[in-house]
Amino acid sequence: VKAVVLDPRNDFSVDQILREKDVQSLIQLCVTRLLDTTNPSLSTIKMQVYFDMNYANRAELLSEQHRVLEGKLAPVLRDITDSRPRVQEDMESLYRKIVSYVLLSSGLGSPTDIEVVREVTAALQSVFPQTEMVTFNTLSKKNKEQQLKNLAKLVTGIRLYNKECRTGGSSIDDLPAILREAIPSATRAVDEGLSTCHTLAHQYTALLEAMQEDQDRYSQLSSFKLKEALFNVRQYEAFLCILLSDAITSAQEVEKGNVQFASTVEQLKNTVQNKVAVDTKEVFPLFVALSNLWTGFQDEILLLSFLTNMINSLQQFSEIQSECFPEEVLTSLLEGVLVKSDEERIRETMGTRVNVSDFKNQEWLFPETTDNFDQLLIQYHGFCAHAIGVKGLTLPGNPAIGILKHREKYYVFSSKEAAYNFAEDPDKFIQLNVERAKEHTELIQLLELRHQFDYLVPYAQARNADKRCTKSLPMCDSSTQTDTHILPPTLVTSYEWNEWELRRKAIRLANLRRRLTHSMQTDLSHMRRANSTQVYLPKDVCTQTKRDSSSNVPRPQVFLEGLRGGSSPTTRVVKVDLTRAADET
């Protein structure tokens, strides 16, 4: 309905209430357009609706999957946490339920497989024996849930470690090997689809340019819906690029996960090393890390399945290309037409750029002079802002020519001439692009123009057909929160702001100076007070000091001869050292 109403060729006014005759005409036009299965425009709109309703990014998809898994496990978890076993049989039954919960939460094996159940039970008993059930039952419900989640991760990590050591885990699929084969296969499928899209887009663009240059060719090709086919291909290409980006992200996450998984397993092997007992503080975090990494592999399997389904489902919306333009028909139409790829068009304009001095009131940005140039949000999905409205073509813009900044938005162009023409009156060409989107409604999403069409629905409260409906103003809810007290409170309890209260306190203090306190004791009250004294009991204290030690060294023996003098006038003293060496003692 919006597509038909927006199309100016149908003479509907968005600002007026529709009369009965207009409603019948609108219904007829909508039905006619819905039944026109040969129109690529209808397939493009179906493709856009399907993608909007089914696509979700990584975070949203994984969050929803985890929420669904928790919902499925909630009854089992509730049954365990609410249970109050009294006898030994109830304890054993509760333990079996814990085994089932651990197995279901990990997703590694079937609960009906006896070998898998035995393996999970053995792994659980190694970290949570049945003797711990008494302590488990005394925990609160929240603590029980937390311990069950921790046990599930520990058991999963133990099973994965046993699988790597070839001592168990035979029922666990080799997810890294599956991903190594599946991700390149999905990437090749997307690349093949993109290659086909590029080829068709280049051919359609060449035919449309030839129509505008040659009148004879225009009369020959006017019956073909080339523009609608071009927009269909461009939209399919845009969606495939989104899916390819997700596939590349998955490949990077898997590669990083493989490295971390191998490193954790090697660290575990070095820690355990066939020991009979190991410290839980060392190995438990490694088992949990293994479980988390394997959960990442399971998430990537889910994402890859989702991407594969999206790729296969989107393909049906591009099949109209082969119906409208069979290969032999397209080959005959392209005779004598020069087909240029998007890369060739960009290379042709690499040497040209806008001269900033030619524009006084316009701001131009260039790659070498702009920070974060690649992160600029380019309008019209990166297509030339001039060619869309003037030619009805989606030509790739070349940022090297220059990016025009107009009203905080950025525009690129396919040639220097297109940039100059657009810069002369940007608002005129922007409105021209909006009018082009009204004629071809699929351009609203392809060129990201939804903000331009917020007023599609007129007011229903208008009482007559002549009453105009004004455009609704964009509004949003906002809130701001500030700290009540930024600095810590510094309250002075003795402060008084009232002057009379201060005077009363001064008078009270002055009167106290002239007052005396008397006390007396009588024979009856003598020794009647209840006294109590609290002391610290003596405690034994001991102190350890350094111990005494000694060593035995030889006593020095030094003799001096000739101190008393002799017959000669000069005294000669001879020193003799008879001290024994230390190593002789």
Residue located via tokens 């080829």 = 199
Return the CATH number at 236.
1.20.1460
- For the full predicted model, state whether its pTM sits above 0.95: no
In a domain, 132, yes or no: yes
Residue located via tokens 């032999």 = 328
Question: Based on the domain organization, do 149 and 274 belong to the same domain?
Answer: no
The structure tokens listed for 487 are 């600095």
Question: Based on the domain organization, do 295 and 188 belong to the same domain?
Answer: yes
Question: Based on the domain organization, do 102 and 159 belong to the same domain?
Answer: yes
Q: Which of 421, 456, 491 is the last residue of a domain?
A: 456
Question: Based on the domain organization, do 322 and 446 belong to the same domain?
Answer: no
Q: Which of 427, 456, 485 is the last residue of a domain?
A: 456
d(CA 384, CA 271): 61
| Tens digit of each residue's pLDDT (9 = 90 or more) over 309-349 | 999 999 988 888 888 888 888 888 888 888 899 899 999 88
d(CA 401, CA 414): 8
Domain containing residue 272: 175-334
Question: Based on the domain organization, do 243 and 383 belong to the same domain?
Answer: no
**pLDDT at position 458:** 33
Give 355: exposed, middle or buried? Use CB within 10 Å, 0-12, 13-18, 19+. Answer: exposed
With a cut of 50, which residues of the chain have pLDDT below it?
A: 455-472
In a domain, 466, yes or no: no
Question: Based on the domain organization, do 299 and 239 belong to the same domain?
Answer: yes
In a domain, 183, yes or no: yes
Question: Based on the domain organization, do 417 and 451 belong to the same domain?
Answer: yes
Sign for the pseudo-dihedral over CA of 292, 297, 302, 307: positive
Question: Based on the domain organization, do 379 and 445 belong to the same domain?
Answer: yes
**pLDDT at position 465:** 39
Q: Which of 400, 431, 456 is the last residue of a domain?
A: 456
What DSSP string runs through 468-491?
--PPPPP---------S-SSPP--
DSSP code for 573: -
Question: Based on the domain organization, do 324 and 362 belong to the same domain?
Answer: no
Question: 297 and 257 in contact (C-beta within 8 Å)?
Answer: yes
In a domain, 139, yes or no: yes
In a domain, 125, yes or no: yes
In a domain, 351, yes or no: yes
DSSP code for 396: B
Q: How many domains does the chain have?
A: 4
Question: 100 and 76 in contact (C-beta within 8 Å)?
Answer: yes
581 Cβ neighbours under 8 A, 6+ residues apart: 554
What is the phi-psi region of residue 146: left when phi exceeds 0, alpha when psi lies from -120 to 50, beta otherwise? alpha
In a domain, 537, yes or no: no
Question: Based on the domain organization, do 327 and 198 belong to the same domain?
Answer: yes
Q: How many CB atoms lie within 10 A of CB 510?
A: 9
Question: Based on the domain organization, do 221 and 264 belong to the same domain?
Answer: yes
Question: Based on the domain organization, do 180 and 155 belong to the same domain?
Answer: no
In a domain, 135, yes or no: yes
